Structure 1
Amino acid sequence: MQILHHGAVNGVTGSCHELVINSQTSILIDCGLFQGEDEKDDLSIEFDVAHITALIVTHCHIDHVGRIPYLLAAGFKGPIFTTLASASLLPLVIEDALKVGVTRNTKIINACLSLLNKRIVAVSFNTWFTLPCDNEQVAKARFQRAGHILGSAYVEIDISKNKATHRVVFSGDLGAPYTPLLPAPKPPYKADTLVIESTYGNKNHQGRKERTQTLKTVIERAVADNGVVLVPAFSIGRTQELLYELEQLIHQSAKGSPWRHIHVILDSPMAANFTEQYIKFKHLWDAEAKRKVAKGRHPLDFDNLTTVDTHSEHMAIINYLASRQTPAIILAASGMCSGGRIVNYLERFLGDKTTDVLFVGYQGVGTLGRDIQKYGPRNGYVFINDTRITINAQVHTISGYSAHADQNGLVKFVTGMRKKPSHIKIVHGDEDAKRALANKYKAILGGGIKIEIGT
């Protein structure tokens, strides 16, 4: 058995890991797009797919699934295993990725989606399924809740030969505890080999009460001057969590409070589609969210919320906000400001002193979001659409809203196992984060475990 990495090993994008079971059989775990400084002009699959018998998708973020069309084009003919919710989301994500980054040709898009839908095999959580495996080994897998976004999973894979079984666990992206909507991940019973992400391997997040209070304080200060609050947010996960928190802040505010009249604008057709999917799969929500629904509240669809659909509506909203100086909170993708409608808002409002930009998630190196985060506090500048824009807006970061587990969460995922792994491979993180997590594991677990930083 061998594990090869075709992405998300020297950074946090392009997740793609190959579990080599034998010379005739490999299983691919995720096949994602490179972003930021990892971005590539040539997205064709550079590794041999002839012996890859199946693809396992842990969740539907673009950096985990964006290269699937290229995998299909390279000749991959195996099943694509994923959870029920992810199976519903995946065609939406791939369709959008094709339209934005590949082609607007409807025939090509429909042909790719038709092929994709034929390959998808939806599997319930905690249900073993057989992986296609040649030669003497037998392989099976199951999904467990990862708490990262709707449908997200970590995957346990058992490889058996002559009554001996080796369990490999791929973490995918693990969610943070106490985030809105989804329950936190529970560690597996055991792992022999663990491949684990390390996005925040060197940091710990704010607690939920603290980050909610920070969100409230930042927004109240931001709208006091009738400016706009721009929140770059990923269409799946972060957007729904923020809507949930904003509905709670509005609900608990006193009558006559400015919160009762604040405009919340969701300017992303994709995010709106994914929000519908969150509502459709609300049986996957955590107990707190289910209690709110039982009381007749609508955490993802409330009175103050306006959803913007068409491009003409999008431009009209920008012009309206620029001319009226009306306080508003705008949630728009992409989460790292690497494209999407948020870029138009930033181009128009980043130079305005009454604007606030609120980052609630990781900003990859080389992205516009990282540049704004870095240069904004020193009144620097960025280039948007070849135009130099001085950052007069206030720039804030609330790390507690990350959908990724922090260092404590990544440690508990391992220490919570009844049978600890003998081998841990650390991937999906910047170098500092990977090294810090490796050192933490060594300090806590001792020298009996092989801890390897993936390369």
Structure 2
Amino acid sequence: MTFPVITHHGGTRGVTGSCHQLHLDSATSLLIDCGLEQGADARPDSPTLGFDISGIQALVITHVHLDHVGRIPALLAAGFRGPIFCSEPSAKLLPLILEDAFKLGISSEPAQVARFLLLLKGLVEPIAFGQWHSLLEHEHLQCRIRLQRAGHLLGSAYVECDISTPAQSCSTRVVFSGDIGAANSPLLRPVQPPERADVLVLESTYGDRLHPDRRERRQRLEAVIDRALADQGTILIPAFSLGRTQELLYEIEEVLHLKGLLDSSGAPASDDQIDWAQLPIILDSPLAQRVTQVYRELHQYWNDEARLRLSEGRKPLGFTQLVCVDSHAKHQQVVNYLKSTGRPAIVIAGNGMCSGGRIVNYLKAMLGDPRHEVVFVGYQVRGTPGARIQACEGMLGGVGVDVWGEQYVLRAKVVTLGGYSGHADQAGLVGFAMGGKSPAKRVVLVHGESGAKRVLAAALSAQAFPRHQVAITVPT
């Protein structure tokens, strides 16, 4: 067998569960991500590890979404005690994400949670972006890694693995994309493609489509808010606590800032005009609040535009109208208040696919009322409640929808707001694979539906021809 060899322990059946083992020789390997399968991708045993950890020297994390890190508790339970390498922002975010997951999926008993977090924090080793870090320095084998910004969420990275042996005249470069972010992302710095990749393990979530122009999405968000609030209802936005929530807050702050400038211009207000200065933006997720606080603390990793807003005295992630709901009792009070009063408000609550979390109570209370609007800003995995609700978009009148084991009559409006994907589209993925100094020689497509992989494979081949050939494989 010729090394290096890659074994996939997830991320091949759909868009979740990314977990890839890079075998450097017959007894030595690295693990890139250790994610949980979710939604229709999930097997009944998916919370378990599902593979032998013998010979794994280290775990390298691309970012801290659960579909990339959710099996770490199982990995530690199996006896793994090697280093967990990640970016500096990811090192701060990982304990927050896994503490919440541990409490929900394993145990909420305080002593067990504390033991898990102590073990986890002792293994995490943050490394700086753009700097090579040596993992192995054996006589017969050397391996070093480098993290580069991936633009998916704060701290997200793609992983370059440089492997050399005495028999090689040139090292082998294996690159794992993790999740590549879309262009023009608020808060985040842009992605630069790898300088070279002998093997590129590439995500393909949106390999079969192009996104709407993200530069116009703030205007689209404002238009949706204007229309929904004219009905004196609540806008319900299901959003994951990490990444999407912070982007939404950033752009809602921009909308409020511009509306405030207009309101202060002296133009007369109509009787039915919305008082934007009094519009509550309700963040109902304790985890999202903790993550947002970490985002604020890590502002040195923001892009230039976001840091400029800070220098102007604005608070993109902590503006005055932001209302944070902590306790469950307060959450229930807010749900009942909004249901009964019809006061305009924007609610951001987890989780993003409506399969659990506080958004479920809002939806159960308000799906039957046409004043309200459910706004989706992210991909809905097949089989999730979010996907079933989203499928009703554009239907008029009462529509029966089976969610959370019950039948609900959906009268609230449903809209999908484009341009908020955290993943690169086809053009972004092709540019990432082919835009470096030396385009990828072999591409392994993972983390996507079969149709997206097939279309992306054709686009990659077309881009490469006739300058060079690229070998494309799709593991199953």
Q: Same fold by TM-score, threshold 0.5 exceeded?
A: yes
Task: Say whether residues 1:187 and 2:164 are aligned partners.
Answer: no
Q: Does 1:234 align with 2:234?
A: no
Partner of 1:325: 342
Give the Å deviation of 1:102: 1.6
1:262 partnered with 2:265: no
The correspondence for 1:105, drawn from 109, 113, 126, is: 109
Match of 2:290? 273
TM-score normalised to the size of structure 1? 0.97
1:438 matched to 2:462? The reply is no
More deviation, 371-380/294-303: 371-380
Aligned residue in 1 for 2:422: 403
2:385–2:404 contact (8 Å) kept in structure 1: no
CA contact (8 A) 1:53 1:133 kept: no
User: 1-side partners of 2:380 and 2:41: how far apart?
Assistant: 13
* Residue in structure 1 matched with residue 163 of structure 2 by the alignment: 159
- 1:449 matched residue in structure 2: 470
Of the three residues 265, 283, 288, the one matched with 2:300 is 283
Q: Residue 431 of structure 1: CA displacement? A: 1.1
Q: Is the 8 A contact 1:54 1:132 kept in 2?
A: no
Q: Partner amino acid for 1:200?
A: Y
Aligned equivalent of 1:207: 213
Deviation, structure 1 residue 260: 2.6
Residue type matched to 1:242 in 2? L
Deviation, 1:133, is 6.8
Is the contact between residue 160 and residue 175 of structure 2 (CA under 8 Å) also seen in structure 1?
yes
1:210-231 CA distances to partner (integer Å, 9 max, x unpaired)? 2222111111111111111110
Bigger mean CA offset, 73-82 vs 256-265:
256-265
Distance across 1 between alignment mates of 2:78 and 2:402:
36
Provide the residue aligned with 2:26 in structure 1: 23
Aligned 1:308-387 pairs, distance under 5 A: 308-378=325-395, 380-387=399-406
Q: Distance in 1 between matches of 2:58 and 2:221?
A: 42
One-letter code aligned to 2:160? E
Secondary structure at the aligned position of 2:251 is classed as helix
- TM-aligned CA distance change 1:34 to 1:234, over 3 Å: same
Q: 1:220 to 1:299 in 2, by over 3 A?
A: same
Partner Cα distance (1:209, 1:138) in 2: 44
Contact 1:4 1:17 in 2 (8 A): yes
Q: 2:112, 2:400 → 1: CA distance?
A: 40
Give per-residue Cα distances to partners, 1:250-277, cap 9 Å, x unaligned: 1011116623322110001111101111
More displaced 10-residue stretch of structure 1: 221-230 or 250-259: 250-259
- Structure 1 position 352, deviation (Å): 1.1
Deviation of the 1:454 alpha carbon: 2.6
User: TM-score scaled to structure 2, two decimals?
Assistant: 0.93
CA offset digits 1:164-201 (Å, max 9, x no partner) = 30001101011111111111211111111101111111
Q: Is the 8 A contact 1:234 1:334 kept in 2?
A: yes
Match of 2:224 in 1: 218
How far apart, in 2, do the equivalents of 1:356 and 1:100 lie?
29
Structure 1 gaps of 5+ residues are none
| Cα deviations by residue, 1:379-438 (Å, 9 ceiling, x for unpaired) | 533334432112111111123011111111111112211101210011101111111111
Q: Percent identity?
A: 48
CA displacement 1:346-378 (0-9 Å, x = unmatched): 111111111111111111111111111113433
Alignment of 1:249 with 2:268, yes or no, is no
Q: How does 1:73-222 map to 2 (within 5 A)?
A: 73-132=77-136, 136-162=140-166, 163-222=169-228
For 2:42, the aligned partner's letter is: E
| Cα distance in 1 between the residues matched to 2:208 and 2:365 | 35
Q: Distance in 2 between matches of 1:380 and 1:443?
A: 44
Q: Secondary structure of the equivalent of 1:202?
A: coil
Give the root-mean-square deviation of aligned CA atoms. 1.4
1:421 to 440, 445, 467: 440
Give the aligned partner of residue 392 of structure 1. 411
* 1:331-355 Cα distance to aligned partner (Å, 9 max, x none): 0111111211111111111111111
Specify the code of the residue in structure 1 equivalent to 2:426: Q
SS in 1 for 2:339: helix
